[in-house]
Amino acid sequence: SAGRPPLSPSPAEMSGAAPPTGRSVPVVRVVDGDTFHVLRHGRDVTIRLIGIDTPEVGWYGGEAECYGARAGLFLRDLLDGERVRLEFDVERIDPYQRTLAYAYLGDGRMVNRLLVRRGFAEVTIFEPNDRYEPQLRAAEQAARAKGAGLWSACS
């Protein structure tokens, strides 16, 4: 799509990619830039990506924030028709009853880190779920340094 970054991985995105383990689950729907649904054990499960926050999309009647729609569309394009492997941290469920997870693509890239590196999300840590905070902060520092995504588009 015009104006969207390519979906193919850069060498930096592949470095440090975790080898996915466990069973992958199909993505059934993307809600916004940091939330999507999977089919897990025959149930529709809402997944909230750990350690990141994307701007609000405004698709559901709320107020749209700068770069929110782009983040949501990027995640939709990235996960459409895909399967992901999920990794959990200390807490499994958030106050909104969403399952908290790090999600991995089939090639091993962590979706959470990819969104930060491409400038679609900023790091937001809620302890005790901080397993990958150093990697996420490094990705954010790189994104800020090159003015990726929201770091140049939004004031």
Check: CB of residue 35 under 8 Å from CB of residue 45. Answer: no
Tell me the sheet residues that pair with 120: none
* CA nearest neighbour of 77 among 49, 101, 105, 98: 105
Please give the full DSSP string across 42-102, using - where no structure is assigned: TEEEEEEETTEE-----TTSS---TTHHHHHHHHHHHHTT-EEEEE--S--B-TTSPEEEE
- Select from 35, 1, 59 the least CA-distant residue to 111: 35
Which residue among the candidates 70, 85, 98, 117 is catalytic per the annotation? Answer: 98
- Is 109 noted as a catalytic residue in this protein? no
23 is catalytic: no
Give me the catalytic one of 48, 70, 85, 109: 48
Strand pairing of 99-104 and 43-49? parallel
CA distance to 62, 85, 143, per residue, from 19 (Å): 37, 10, 23
Q: Which residues are annotated as catalytic?
A: 48, 56, 98
